[in-house]
Amino acid sequence: MPVIKIDDEGRILLPQEILERLCLKPGDQVQVDAHGLTVVLSRVRPAENSIALTDSRSVINRKNLETAVRFIKGVGPKMAAALAKKGIHTVEDALYLLPYRYEDRRQLRSLDRLRPGQLEVFCAQVMSAETRISRGGRRVFEAVVGDGRGAVLLKWFNFSPRHMAGTWRAGRKGIFSGEVVCYGHDREIHHPEVDWLADGADPASFMADDPVNFGRTIPVYPLTEGLRQKSLRKVQKEIVDTFSESVETAIPGEMLERLSLIPVAAALREVHFPGNDTAVDLLERRATCAHRTLAFDEFFFLQLGLALKKRGVSIEQGIPFQVTHKYTRQLVKSLPFALTAAQKRVLAEIKEDLAAPHPMHRLVQGDVGSGKTVVAILTALLAVENDCQVVIMAPTEILAEQHFLAVRRYCAQLGIAACLLTSRVKGKERSRLLEDVACGNVSVIVGTHSVIQEKVEFKRLGLGIIDEQHRFGVLQRGILRKKGQNPHIMVMTATPIPRTLAMTVFGDLSLSVIDELPPGRSPVATRICPESQRHRVYRLIREEVRAGRQAYVIYPLVEESEKSDLKAATLMAGHLAGDVFPELRVGLLHGKMKPEEKEAVMGAYKDRGIDILVATTVIEVGIDVPNATVMVIEHAERFGLSQLHQLRGRVGRGTASSHCILLSGDDLSGDAARRLKVLEQTNDGFRIAEADLELRGPGDFLGTRQAGLPEFRVADILRDGPIMEEARQEAFALVERDPHLSSLDNGRLRQELVRRWGGRLELAGC
């Protein structure tokens, strides 16, 4: 890293190396742009003075947007603190704090025309007001207001009696707003907003004096403690009026026009303080052109980054493989089954990638039990046929061990050397193993994240396969790639990721889907069972075991209560073995066990030496014991739907019919019951994933931030799927035309991309 010096007058002295890289000579001008701690230097060329000028305006605009909200008129220290709690520190943050609904105050309603279910605004006079005691013994403040054409009852359930008595004098006039609710013929409004008119004041001129709050569609913002709607609205008006102009539109004008979008500044003004001809229901559904513009703007830069990244991969030199079928044909012959059409199709897609001169970067998605493992092994063999090493990386020890057993079985018959590398391999054994890997004695290396540790070196890594990717971050993918010279990468996931989400997190990968299960599978019958029915579950287990089958009983392992859950699982195993099924063989499996112990238990279960396996969620992914037909999940309500679907996928792997029982507390909440019902109703992983995504939101769905999911301020990947598609097409087409965004027109895009995503996307060639 070259060091840059600053002289006594604050001038920057650039080392020769950087001068050369920027093609600068003494006397040239350089523009300095600060983004937080990162400083971007760009050359100002005499011929491009016009660009330099607009750029300096950009710098001023950015400065404006970075103004702290506490400097805005109307924001005191208390409000600034409340805003900070919502993550709003700068003017730019505030501009992107959008209304979550709108109130139509363009015209006042007369009271005979109030519409039930609508938010209405009207001017009326207090006719009566008093505190009453309801039948349930609660205090309620009730007021009747009228406007000569009709009357309506207002109610408060939380109020200060003294304050209400003081304000609600009969005869007083005000402007009221709130949602009209209907009970039979009676119309009521609960907790309305009120603006009192001074005695004798004319409502029309009162409203004309307050154009922020009346005579228009007004925004309603999400509040937190310490924020009041009216003051926030006023501050937002101030910010929008003063600063929206500083928000530049980086998307090229031609594109805006073609897609009927508008400049971002105008879009921000419109979503905060919409024009009077904008329909309120469009605003509320976020379907206006302005909302669309803002969502597109966010998606577009994400997709642009992903497009560049993908492009970076496609222009890199890879290792083109020859498909010789030397090993693969033999393996396919030795399989006890024929590949499904979907497996064949995906393999063909993979082969085409591998034969290309650029590295493969492919996501293989397939529901539980669709047969990804055999696809992975065949792909691995293609690499071995080309004298390359292969890494297969799994998220847990157990899964790595299981993959290893499968790989070893196949490899042994083909005379290929394979090894297992996890953190459990220690000391001399580890150094010998690393040595073997480094000099190429081993062709297939199966392991956990241990395989991408610094010390591990390969002779010639040609392919990396990552199983169950959502457990790994984007980062691991990058590290794995650096272990070889642009090795091919294949990522497998059993969680069917809804398309919109796949386009964000895995947007730089090509996608293959194994959308077919091997024949002869019968769907798993799923039932929610309350605790009080536990004895019936035991009966089912006993019947199945008698019929020669096996069962799982799973305990959730939630991080914060790991110890107690582990204890629960251990106790349960003891209880089942000692009290409930003394005649059956009960085993226990959890993540804290030594690998030899785990392997012994798994091995015994596979060989039918254990009838009932009590386990924590370590078995969630990938375990394959086709003879198991019962899956009992304790505290099912504590799991996410996709996780439950994964667990359920451990049974129904053979031809016998299988059962999944979701045991839950007797007092299951409505929400939890609805969630679990989804599993009773469908075996389709996609539908379950979609439901899960809707119920939990994208961050939770993927197991949080580490998955590298960007956060959007306006866009919503569930609601705005079609906009994401559009943004993706545009971005990819643009990168196709101008792969380095080097044309003059795209300079602005490039700058904005770097500003928004910085190093986070590890942009190749940018």
Cα gap 115→519, rounded to integer Å: 57
Smallest distance, Mg ion to C-beta of residue 370, A: 9
Candidates 622, 640, 685, 698; binder of Mg ion (CB under 5 A) is 622
From residue 296, alpha-carbon distances to 271, 290, 717, 723, 739 in Å are 14, 10, 11, 6, 21
Cα gap 350→334, rounded to integer Å: 21
Candidates 292, 362, 372, 403; binder of ligand ADP (CB under 6 A) is 372
Candidates 150, 263, 440, 518; binder of ligand ADP (CB under 6 A) is 518
Q: Which of the ranges 107-115, 366-374, 554-562, 678-686 carries the binding residues for ligand ADP, by CB under 6 A?
A: 366-374
Cα gap 641→695, rounded to integer Å: 9
Q: Looking at this protein, which amino acid is placed at residue 459? A: K
Task: Kindly give the residue spans of alpha helices, DSSP state H, lying in 684-720.
Answer: 685-696, 698-701
Candidates 371, 464, 507, 685; binder of ligand ADP (CB under 6 A) is 371
Q: Which of the ranges 72-80, 208-216, 336-344, 592-600 carries the binding residues for ligand ADP, by CB under 6 A?
A: 336-344
**Please, are residues 326 and 306 in contact by the beta-carbon 8 Å criterion?**
no
Smallest distance, ligand ADP to C-beta of residue 730, A: 34
**Of the two residues 263 and 518, which places its CB atom closer to ligand ADP in the complex?**
518
**Of the two residues 307 and 618, which places its CB atom closer to ligand ADP in the complex?**
618
649 touching Mg ion, by CB under 5 A: no
Return the closest-CA partner of residue 124 out of 51, 165, 83, 177.
177
* x/- track of binding to ligand ADP for residues 471-510 (CB under 6 A): -----------------------x----------------
Smallest distance, Mg ion to C-beta of residue 494, A: 6
Smallest distance, Mg ion to C-beta of residue 371, A: 9
Cα gap 680→668, rounded to integer Å: 15
Binding at 343: pick from ligand ADP, Mg ion, none (beta carbon under 5-8 Å per type): ligand ADP
Binding at 368: pick from Mg ion, ligand ADP, none (beta carbon under 5-8 Å per type): ligand ADP
**Of the two residues 463 and 668, which places its CB atom closer to ligand ADP in the complex?**
463
* x/- track of binding to ligand ADP for residues 522-551 (CB under 6 A): ------------------------------
Binding at 728: pick from Mg ion, ligand ADP, none (beta carbon under 5-8 Å per type): none
Cα gap 394→414, rounded to integer Å: 23
Which helix (H) or strand (E) segment holds residue 194: the answer is strand 193-196
**Of the two residues 252 and 626, which places its CB atom closer to ligand ADP in the complex?**
626
Query: What is the sign of the dihedral through the CA atoms of 424, 428, 432 and 434?
Result: positive
Q: Which of the ranges 160-168, 436-444, 619-627, 687-695 carries the binding residues for Mg ion, by CB under 5 A?
A: 619-627
**Please, are residues 40 and 33 in contact by the beta-carbon 8 Å criterion?**
yes
Q: Which of the ranges 80-88, 333-341, 563-571, 724-732 carries the binding residues for ligand ADP, by CB under 6 A?
A: 333-341
**Of the two residues 521 and 585, which places its CB atom closer to ligand ADP in the complex?**
521
Binding at 443: pick from Mg ion, ligand ADP, none (beta carbon under 5-8 Å per type): none
Smallest distance, ligand ADP to C-beta of residue 679, A: 17
Cα gap 1→498, rounded to integer Å: 42
Smallest distance, ligand ADP to C-beta of residue 682, A: 17
Smallest distance, ligand ADP to C-beta of residue 398, A: 13
Cα gap 628→631, rounded to integer Å: 8
Q: Looking at this protein, which amino acid is placed at residue 147? A: D
Reported for 574-577, long-range contacts at CB under 8 A and 24+ positions apart, including other chains, are 576/612, 576/614
Supply the DSSP symbol for 149: S
Cα gap 461→477, rounded to integer Å: 14
**Of the two residues 173 and 648, which places its CB atom closer to ligand ADP in the complex?**
648
Which residue has the closest beta carbon to ligand ADP? 371
Neighbours of 457 (CB within 10 A): 13
Q: How many residues bind to Mg ion according to rule CB under 5 A?
A: 1
Smallest distance, ligand ADP to C-beta of residue 518, A: 3
Give residue for tokens 């679907």.
645
Smallest distance, Mg ion to C-beta of residue 467, A: 6
366 touching Mg ion, by CB under 5 A: no
Neighbours of 71 (CB within 10 A): 10
Candidates 177, 249, 293, 340; binder of ligand ADP (CB under 6 A) is 340
- C-alpha angle 261-102-274 in degrees, rounded to nearest 5: 40
685 touching ligand ADP, by CB under 6 A: no
373 touching ligand ADP, by CB under 6 A: yes
Q: Which of the ranges 156-164, 291-299, 335-343, 412-420 carries the binding residues for ligand ADP, by CB under 6 A?
A: 335-343
Length of the chain: 766
Smallest distance, ligand ADP to C-beta of residue 492, A: 7
Reported for 334-341, long-range contacts at CB under 8 A and 24+ positions apart, including other chains, are 334/410, 334/413, 335/374, 337/518, 339/371, 339/374, 340/370, 340/371, 340/514, 340/516, 340/517, 340/518, 340/519, 341/516
Residue 162's contacts (CB-CB under 8 Å, 6 or more residues apart) are: none
Binding at 339: pick from ligand ADP, Mg ion, none (beta carbon under 5-8 Å per type): ligand ADP
**Please, are residues 357 and 320 in contact by the beta-carbon 8 Å criterion?**
yes
- Which two tokens mark 507? 């947007």
Smallest distance, Mg ion to C-beta of residue 622, A: 4
- Which two tokens mark 60? 């001023």
Q: Which of the ranges 150-158, 245-253, 368-376, 734-742 carries the binding residues for ligand ADP, by CB under 6 A?
A: 368-376
Q: Which of the ranges 76-84, 104-112, 334-342, 454-462 carries the binding residues for ligand ADP, by CB under 6 A?
A: 334-342
**Of the two residues 90 and 493, which places its CB atom closer to Mg ion in the complex?**
493
Candidates 83, 227, 374, 678; binder of ligand ADP (CB under 6 A) is 374
Smallest distance, ligand ADP to C-beta of residue 640, A: 18
Cα gap 40→112, rounded to integer Å: 63
Considering only residues 629-668, where is the footprint of ligand ADP by CB under 6 A?
Answer: 653
Return the closest-CA partner of residue 734 out of 359, 362, 306, 313.
306
Query: What is the sign of the dihedral through the CA atoms of 254, 259, 260 and 261?
Result: negative
622 touching ligand ADP, by CB under 6 A: yes
Query: What is the sign of the dihedral through the CA atoms of 435, 436, 440 and 442?
Result: negative
**Phi (first) and psi of residue 292, to 5 degrees:** -60, -40
Smallest distance, Mg ion to C-beta of residue 365, A: 12
Give residue for tokens 């007021």.
143
Cα gap 577→207, rounded to integer Å: 77
Interface positions with Mg ion (CB under 5 A): 622
Interface positions with ligand ADP (CB under 6 A): 337, 339-340, 343, 366, 368-374, 494, 518, 622, 624, 626, 653
